[in-house]
Structure 1
């Protein structure tokens, strides 16, 4: 089987698995304990935090360890809403955010906050001009993803961060789950106050992530207790996963420049192959600037995505239709609808996502299988009609 669903999750690196197992066996103390075992665990936790911080040119106390992208996103969003409600009740996000962001905003809206959901253009990009127009004296938070998890469209977070520097009372949150380790990230340089990352998207463990929080920014915690993670995430820290995540993050960022060049080549190769298949349509033009290097999204007009997925799996190719958090739902893709596609097209989207370990031969094998399935289904459809 050829696994090409890296946007959903990635296989953990062997050295990450080995590190986690080693820490679990040898360093099982509670970091809050004062004896030698606890101090040893606390030291490892501090080292992991420092390694992660260094990849973002950040300070260790700006890294809040979490259970993953969803918790990081919601700690950022609810943390700001709860902390600064007295300052204003207006929140801004976009129509193409991950469910962990949009559903959080919907919940806050039901609690009395006013939410502006920015539209996107036909390529899935938010307009910074429309963001500027949406800002009011009551705005306390803007939350935008860096890379869309379905299409790979890169949002103008650097431009948005520059705009928001003129509004010091507005907190800027970026969901970087799909961009960490693939695109350059420097939150302080880009005016980003909060930034979410999940370890399992960059060959680390599931159940681990972090939130970059600009030093000095207060947040209301999601839950309280012993006051771990600078009072923002009570509970005994998962030291093995934190150390494994730090290793995965360090490796991903160290290899990111070389990996990006390789991934761009793979993306171009597959996109051009798909563009040459009559039954299919690329969602975003292959030559479009501002697309992440590690995925290709395309449409199979008139064919439900689920049918194509099963046919490809029978040929040994595992891809997906959209966000793993939404793929089990029968509705068409919310992201594609926001881009102006018809309901029929939005039901036919397919996503191939890959990593630096994949080769041109892998991409060619996927292209062959996609072409075979597209041809067989097109012929079947033509026969039925």
Structure 2
């Protein structure tokens, strides 16, 4: 039986070997970073070295980097109580804290009339659509963008940005809120005053070490043009799907997109059904965001873009990574096409 093919990189990227090794090494650092003895200072030094590595990788030199458990916590820390505006296409972790009243165009782009009081994702996790960031934006959710497209916090023009390690090959459960130095930010988790008083709790030393190693390796891949090859394979995938199913809809296809993301729908063929069929065929894909405790529902993103429920409930997302091969893409096209033909026969 052929090996399984992982095509859900936007949900989580496989752990990079550099991150794994950095985490193994960090396990030997036994001290608490808040302790003043030699063991504690060693742990603290590891954290600060990682903070510097991430700042360099993300073009955030001179900014503050607050380690969190991931972008969901970072969003709460950045957005709670601020009364910001956002769009319905924002990730649930962001939409929960903002007024989702910004206009979304059919191509997935968002109009932001008041950047200083708004939040905007840099790239959508479902469609891959990349936004033009307005100068002075309060908060940018860059979770899906780091390591996939050229991006630097210092030229993004925003006050705060979100990052999550597992999206770029780091461990799950560690992320960062990046903010311009001097930004007023009230702590949501109080206690020992770690992370410059903005996020208390003993730091996840092992996760932070893995995060830094993954960020550094991800930027090397980006500089080497790795994602250009990924984009080529994504385009081959979409061409194969369109050839097999001429009625297929590709939301956001004509917009600037992440190089690895393909979102498509055959109206009436439920996304949940396709995910299960592809899983049985040996392919891991998703229907919408993977951060909903296993729930599959009509895509809120596609609904905001103006698609009806027949399309929004039928969309799937296939997201590639640097390890994806052209042979795997061919196998996926064949497997999906076989299931599509069965769907058409049942619908006839």
TM-score bin, normalised by smaller chain = over 0.9
C-alpha deviation, 1:279, in angstroms: 6.0
How is 1:194-273 mapped onto 2 (pairs within 5 angstroms)? 194-257=160-223, 258-273=225-240
Residue 27 of structure 1 corresponds to 29
How is 1:303-314 mapped onto 2 (pairs within 5 angstroms)? 303-314=269-280
1:40 aligns with 2:33: no
The total of aligned residue pairs comes to 344
C-alpha deviation, 1:101, in angstroms: 0.5
Residue 12 of structure 2 corresponds to 9
Residue 89 of structure 2 corresponds to 96
Residue 145 of structure 1 corresponds to 121
Deviations 1:154-213 (A, max 9, x none): 1111xx12xx3xxxxxx6210011101011112222311101010001111000111111
For 1:362 and 1:368, locate their aligned partners in 2 and report how far apart those are by CA, in whole Å. 10
Unaligned runs of 5+ in 1: 82-89, 106-114, 165-170
3-state secondary structure, aligned to 1:63: strand
In the superposition, the TM-score normalised over structure 1's length comes to 0.86
For 2:168 and 2:205, locate their aligned partners in 1 and report how far apart those are by CA, in whole Å. 18
C-alpha deviation, 1:60, in angstroms: 6.2
Identify the structure with the greater helix proportion.
1
C-alpha deviation, 1:224, in angstroms: 1.1
Residue 353 of structure 1 corresponds to 319
For 1:330 and 1:250, locate their aligned partners in 2 and report how far apart those are by CA, in whole Å. 34
Runs of 4+ in 1 over 6 A off after TM superposition: none
CA contact (8 A) 2:127 2:252 kept: no
Residue 245 of structure 2 corresponds to 278
3-state secondary structure, aligned to 2:153: coil
CA contact (8 A) 1:274 1:282 kept: no
CA contact (8 A) 1:297 1:351 kept: yes
Computed over aligned residues only, the root mean square deviation of the Cα atoms, in angstroms, reads 1.7
In the superposition, the TM-score normalised over structure 2's length comes to 0.94
Unaligned runs of 5+ in 2: none
C-alpha deviation, 1:272, in angstroms: 0.9
Q: Give the direction of change, closer, same or farther, for the CA distance of 1:116–1:335 in structure 2 (3 Å limit).
A: closer
